[in-house]
Structure 1
Amino acid sequence: MSSDVPSPPKGKTGWPWDLPSESFSLNDWDDSKPTISIVTPSYNQGTFIEETIRSVIFQDYPNVEYIVMDGGSTDETVEILNRYDPWIDYWESTPDDGQAHAINKGLKRATGDIHGWLNSDDFFVPGALRGVAETFISSSCDALSGGRLLVDEDSNVTGWSIKPSFDPWRGGNTFPQDSTLWRSYVYDEIGYLDESYDFAMDFEFFIRLYKHFDILDTNHLIGAFRHHSDTKTRQHYHSVGINETRRAWETHLDAPTENISEDRDPGLFRHWWFWISHPRFLALPYVVQKSSEWLRS
């Protein structure tokens, strides 16, 4: 492990701030394994993006291509990107036409076999990409969707989410964006993100993925989704997000729109039948505690 990797800010410990063990190298590459390309769109998320970057470059999987598309941030983001430049395959900081445009620019530049994007205020859990690669190697699936941790502004674990399989005819309208990845050939069939969407570009893309390809649901935790006051989810879901979600639903699905949840944070007992039929998930408080200890260790 290179000692040249920037030291974490004072007081930051645990994942992904502590350096991996000496046996881990950022430079190892294994041509026998698939390459995973991760794109991070960014704009003025200097508070969180360093944690995002470290969670990608410290993954214990050798073949990771990392691309950051920043929209011309005016905070400390560019200074952070410069510090981590040797460990990012490509980054730029130029004005763009929105989040979907930034993501598309990165995905079109990506050369990996498996693609995904990770927003600049979220992060991957330890071992996430190794697990993703192993699942794709052992499966014929075209895409996979896993579980996620829920964290607060200080990266404290507040919950977790392992969703039931997406079923528009029974309700439920989300894919965990930070925990969903796909093979690069899917664009030949469904194209890239629809840049006319400002909020639900991920949901609209995943619906097209769902309609044309096999998405494997896995219980493995992959991403950590951060709830904080400046997230799009908290600020714009009811004003913009719900309408874009309905638009995507009506465009691509022959299913009743009343199955769309009006609440982006549905809470523990929203889908009561799921919890009754999956009693292992009632261990939520224990898992939250253990996940927090795991990230801090």
Structure 2
Amino acid sequence: MKLLSVITINYNNLSGLKKTVQSVVNQRNIRLEYIVIDGGSTDGSADFIAENASRFHYACSEKDRGIYNAMNKGIAQATGDYLLFMNSGDELIDDPFILEKCLPYLQQDVVSFSCQLRKNGSLQGIRTHAASPSLFQLWMSGLKHQSTFIRRSLFEKYGSYDESFRIAGDYEFWIRIGINPHVLFQGVNQIIAIFELDGVSQQATWGEEHERIEQMWLPHLIADFKRLRELNFFDKPKVLAVGKAIAKSVKRLRRRK
């Protein structure tokens, strides 16, 4: 049976941390190591972690240099075949066997399941992932790390998260590995987690960091990607309209011949 490493980072979010920890330690029939990295919280989180130390494979509470420094600390401690990042406030769905149910699907390098989107306790929708995400789709919307398993060897081969980014380090990682044709992605249409929409990545402006990532990894593709986005090929009626227009043009050319 594969060993899974679940990593939770936290900073001054005791209530969210408690929910996340409970949803992870409730899992059954699974080889699991749980790693908790706290950024030196002053809201009681450190005491909670100390009181529950026996539940964690590794835990610490100390100042860090931001989200991705904390995530990299977790990666450094992980020994599992696949890593799953469940940050404080995120939860696995109410099913003690949900991680066990994921195991048969963990065959590719990155495997993304679906997740519920929640805000202020209210369900806002469901985020799914394409069965075989393309680089264009990664650029369009990335992947939700709360429901995405990453083969640990990818971090060893391609490096961990770029700590120079404040909120888009995980997005940069998807693009960095996505441009390599040997890295295989898979999407599975099964809900396994709940994603809170009020996190820092939802409150800050991504524009500057996204542009920087585009210039780092996609300078030769970005113009074409933006054009595809304008055409909105995810919208079936528009795809059909484009197809009909092309078909009419072909017919006119044939008539002229």
Q: Distance in 1 between matches of 2:23 and 2:6?
A: 11
* 1:65-118: CA deviation from partner (whole Å, max 9, x where unpaired): 000110000102123223322211111100011111111011111111111211
**Aligned 8 A contact 2:8 2:36 in 1:** yes
- Contact map agreement 2:16 2:88 (CA 8 A) in 1: yes
| Greater mean alpha carbon deviation, residues 142-151 or residues 181-190 | 181-190
Q: Name the counterpart of 1:273.
A: 235
Q: Which moved more, 1:46-55 or 1:156-165?
A: 156-165
TM (normalized to structure 2)? Answer: 0.80
State the 1:123 CA deviation. Answer: 1.2
1:118 maps to 86
Identity %: 26
Name the count of aligned residue pairs: 227
Structure 1 residue 174 displacement after superposition: 2.1
Q: SS where residue 64 of structure 2 aligns?
A: coil
- The 2-side partners of 1:123 and 1:271 are apart by 32
Structure 2, unmatched stretches of 5+, are 227-231, 240-257
Counterparts of 1:78-117 in structure 2, within 5 Å, are 78-117=46-85
Matched, 1:232 2:194: no
Structure-2 change in CA distance of 1:248 and 1:85 (3 Å): same
Q: Which has the higher strand share?
A: 2
Identify the residue that residue 43 of structure 1 maps to in structure 2.
11
Alignment of 1:161-240 (within 5 A): 161-164=127-130, 165-169=132-136, 172-212=140-180, 213-228=183-198, 231-236=199-204, 238=205
Equivalent in 125, 130, 133 of residue 159 of structure 1: 125
Answer with 84-93 or 74-83: which moved more.
74-83
The CA deviation at 1:178 is 0.9
Larger Rg: 2
- From the superposition, tell whether residues 76 and 214 of structure 1 become closer, same or farther in structure 2 (CA, over 3 Å): same
Aligned 8 A contact 2:135 2:175 in 1: no
SS in 1 for 2:125: strand
* Equivalent-residue separation in structure 1 for 2:35 and 2:61 (angstroms): 12
1:225-249 per-residue CA deviation (whole Å, 9 max, x = no partner) reads 1023xx213321x2xx221122222
What is the deviation of 1:223? 2.1
SS of the counterpart of 1:150? Answer: strand
Residue 167 of structure 2: SS of its match in structure 1? coil
Aligned to 1:265: none
Which TM-score applies when normalising by structure 1? 0.70
Is residue 57 of structure 1 aligned with residue 22 of structure 2?
no
2:235 aligned partner, one-letter code = W
More helix by share: 2
Give the conservation status (yes or no) of the 8 Å contact 2:90–2:194.
Answer: yes
